[in-house]
A and B are shown apart, each in its own frame.
Chain A
């Protein structure tokens, strides 16, 4: 995408000059405790980092907090991208874009110099054969910026998912370390981040990162089999897995998606019932890989989630 990559900074500068309203910031809002409280946790707070969480395993607790945080960050990101896509946005982007060494943008901050700035930007655009107008921004630049942010977010999410999968006991990839990655995920939803990403091909990066994310999402590791898992627990595990299979057979994707998310997964919204069911059955099977004295309480949690669907038959 070399042509787009060259035009994008120019188009951003041009857009900054012609935009008439100032209703959106160049980055998603930072999470606040009150905002995240809606999702049931902070991301993660000092209290949560120190909190005892028996009978939940360290990994289950870590995964649950990560899931809540990712949900909150994703919600903020959706808000932000929706605002960006609204026609009446733009000039506040100046402060964000200027901050990242777009030399032309740095000199184009005040409206008092608008004529001169337009001339400068125009000369720049003519030199590169670019057309600076709103149409260019909305047709080429904004989609590329969104693709760039998506690419960075996918990379960070992939790293989080892989780290979770690699360390099913949360001994190395602790909640504290996850917190740093969650900060990166939040920061990835910004114009600053997007423009940086556009130095290499945004669309190619999005595709590549998405492929890697999909690969990570296609393989999970549930840990080491505990051979002395009691027979009553095994029966409950089998019962829960059978129920999930019935939901898959009934093509109940919405329920499976909700259950997968409730169990700490971040599946793609268009995941098939079989795929979503596989994630859930994997989590259920994971009960046989945690210490025996924690298995009953973990099954209690899983069965509570499944309880509303007990009557479903395939």
Chain B
């Protein structure tokens, strides 16, 4: 391993029964501990959130919401952190994590 290569992704799973508030609680906690959220997807019967631990702790936490008509709600001054299908209360749901700049 190159000593300048910091790459390290850390994955956390959420139970499929988690509601949107629990998902956001997890994102808030792990962005603080690990680094920015970079990926969200379904992994078997759980949702998987992947964080980049080599990047600085975000100053503003990403917020996960359901996508409407397949498009993330991305107001001005926000950027897309990650998007993908995850379980919300047991249902596969297309979601987006956005972050205020």
Whether a CB of chain A sits under 8 angstroms from the CB of B1 is yes
Which residues from A are CB-within-8-Å of B10?
A: 219-222, 278, 281-282, 285
Which residues from A are CB-within-8-Å of B33?
A: 237-238, 241, 281, 284-285
Whether a CB of chain A sits under 8 angstroms from the CB of B5 is yes
Which residues from A are CB-within-8-Å of B57?
A: 245
- B 1-37 binary contact with A (CB < 8 Å = 1; else 0): 1111111111111110010001001100110111100
Chain A residue with Cβ nearest B56: A245
Q: A217-B1, A225-B14, A225-B26 are in contact. Are A241 and B7 (CB under 8 A)?
A: no
Chain B residue with Cβ nearest A224: B13
Specify which of B14, B22, B34 is in contact with A282 (CB 8 Å cutoff).
B34
CA distance A237 to B11 in the complex (A): 17
Whether a CB of chain A sits under 8 angstroms from the CB of B46 is yes
Whether a CB of chain B sits under 8 angstroms from the CB of A214 is yes
Min C-beta distance of B5 to chain A, whole Å: 7
What is the total number of residues of chain B having a CB less than 8 Å from a CB of chain A? 29
CA distance A178 to B1 in the complex (A): 24
Whether a CB of chain A sits under 8 angstroms from the CB of B53 is yes
Q: A245-B57, A274-B54 are in contact. Are A214 and B1 (CB under 8 A)?
A: yes
- A 216-230 binary contact with B (CB < 8 Å = 1; else 0): 011111111101000
Question: For window 38-91 of chain A, which residues contact chain B by CB distance below 8 Å?
Answer: none
- A 195-224 binary contact with B (CB < 8 Å = 1; else 0): 000000000000000000010011111111
B15 and A224 contact, CB distance less than 8 A: yes
Q: A218-B9, A275-B5, A279-B8 are in contact. Are A224 and B34 (CB under 8 A)?
A: no
Whether a CB of chain B sits under 8 angstroms from the CB of A270 is yes
Whether a CB of chain B sits under 8 angstroms from the CB of A268 is yes
Whether a CB of chain B sits under 8 angstroms from the CB of A234 is yes
A-B pair number, CB within 8 angstroms = 95
Specify which of A223, A241, A278, A289 is in contact with B8 (CB 8 Å cutoff).
A278
CA distance A275 to B1 in the complex (A): 11
A281 and B54 contact, CB distance less than 8 A: no
A219 and B8 contact, CB distance less than 8 A: yes
A220 and B7 contact, CB distance less than 8 A: no
A275 and B8 contact, CB distance less than 8 A: yes
CA distance A219 to B30 in the complex (A): 15
Whether a CB of chain B sits under 8 angstroms from the CB of A20 is no
Q: A223-B12, A274-B6 are in contact. Are A285 and B54 (CB under 8 A)?
A: no
CA distance A225 to B28 in the complex (A): 12
Specify which of A219, A271, A281, A289 is in contact with B34 (CB 8 Å cutoff).
A281
B1 and A281 contact, CB distance less than 8 A: no
Q: A241-B32, A271-B3 are in contact. Are A221 and B11 (CB under 8 A)?
A: yes
Whether a CB of chain B sits under 8 angstroms from the CB of A92 is no
B8 and A222 contact, CB distance less than 8 A: no
CA distance A282 to B8 in the complex (A): 10
Which residues from A are CB-within-8-Å of B18?
A: 227
Whether a CB of chain B sits under 8 angstroms from the CB of A262 is no
Specify which of A217, A234, A270, A277 is in contact with B29 (CB 8 Å cutoff).
A234
Whether a CB of chain B sits under 8 angstroms from the CB of A272 is yes
Whether a CB of chain B sits under 8 angstroms from the CB of A288 is yes
Min C-beta distance of A195 to chain B, whole Å: 28
A278 and B5 contact, CB distance less than 8 A: no
Which residues from B are CB-within-8-Å of A225?
A: 12-15, 22, 26, 30
The winner among A219, A275, A288 for most chain B CB atoms within 10 A is A275
Which residues from A are CB-within-8-Å of B29?
A: 234, 285, 288
* Nearest 6 Cβ contacts at the A-B interface: A278-B53, A278-B8, A274-B6, A270-B3, A268-B1, A224-B13
- Could you list some 16 contacts between A and B, CB below 8 A? A221-B11, A222-B10, A222-B12, A224-B15, A227-B18, A237-B33, A270-B2, A272-B4, A274-B54, A275-B7, A279-B8, A281-B53, A282-B53, A284-B33, A285-B12, A285-B30
